[in-house]
Amino acid sequence: MNIAKMKGGKPLILISNDDGFEAKGIRELVRFLRPLGHLVVMAPDGPRSGMACSITSDRPVVYHQLAEEYGLSVYKCSGTPVDCVKLASSEVLHRQPDLIVGGINHGDNSAINVHYSGTMGVVIEGCLRGIPSVGFSLCNHAADADFSPLEEPVCRIVSCVLQGGLPEGVCLNVNFPLAASFKGIRICRQARGRWVNEWEKRQRPPHGGDYFWLTGNFVGDGAAEEGTDRWALREGYVAVTPISVDMTAHAALDRLKEQIQG
C-alpha cells in the first residue's frame, strides 16, 4: 500500500473463494477484513472445489450483485474462481485492488494440493496480474467449521502484506491447523506427498456400469521434514508457503540443455 493509496482512503481488497459465496469461510473472512479495507467480493455462485486455475472458455459467464453497503460490495458469478478475479477486475472494480484474498477455504491446501485448489487459483491469478495475493485455508472440511481462532492471524498477515507488499511473482498459501489456538506463524516450503486410493468404484442400478468418485488418502506428506508446510501444521503452527508463479525449474536448465538441446 503506497502513500498515494493511503491518502485516497482505505485499501481496496478483492475477495473470492472456491466454496462459493454462501460458504461460512468467505463470510467469516469478510467479517475479519471489514475494518481493514473497502471489500469487493466476487465469488462463485456455488461450490467450485478442485477447480485449480481453470477458466471458462466454452460458454459465457454472468454475474449478479447481491449486496452493496458502505465498504462492502458482494457479487456472485457463474464461472470459476479465476473467472471471478478476471471478471471483477474488468467489470466491477474502478481501479486495481491493493490486495486479493482467497478463502477461507474449507479444507487443507498445503503441500502439492496447491495445484488443485480453486482458492489458490484466485491467488495465482491475482499474482499473475501483479497484485499482492494471499490464500487462507483451514484444515477442516466441515461446512460449520469454527473459523474464529483465525481472526487474529488472518488480520495480522493481511496487514503485513498491505504494508510491506510481496516480492514480484510471489503469492502466499496460508494454511491453519485444526486447533483452538496456534503456536505461531512459520514461513514454509511446499511439502511433497501423494494421493493414493483415489477412486471409489460404484455400480449403477439396476444392470451395472461402473462409475467412480474421487476420494483418496494423502501419504508421504513430508510432515517429518522440518520446514515444510505439513510439518508446521502438524506442529500446530500457521503454515505460510510463498508460491512462485514462475514455474520454471531454473536448477534443471543446464542439465536439460545438455540432454535435449544438444
Closer residue to its own copies (CB): 1 or 52: 52
Quick check: 105 and 150 in contact, CB under 8 A? no
Closer residue to its own copies (CB): 8 or 215: 215
Closer residue to its own copies (CB): 7 or 250: 250
- Mark 17-35 as b/e (b = at least 16 C-beta within 10 Å): bbbbbebbbbbbbbebbee
Closest separation between CB of residue 37 and its own copies, Å?
18
Closest CA to 44 of 59, 32, 28, 61: 61
Cα 8 to chain center, whole Å?
28
Quick check: 178 and 141 in contact, CB under 8 A? no
Quick check: 48 and 84 in contact, CB under 8 A? no
Q: In angstroms, rounded to a whole number, what is the distance separating the alpha carbons of residues 212 and 123?
A: 30
Closest separation between CB of residue 173 and its own copies, Å?
8
Residues near 91 by Cβ (< 8 Å), separated by ≥ 6? Answer: 63
Closest separation between CB of residue 167 and its own copies, Å?
5
Closer residue to its own copies (CB): 27 or 129: 129
Closest separation between CB of residue 71 and its own copies, Å?
25
Closest separation between CB of residue 181 and its own copies, Å?
17
Closer residue to its own copies (CB): 144 or 210: 210
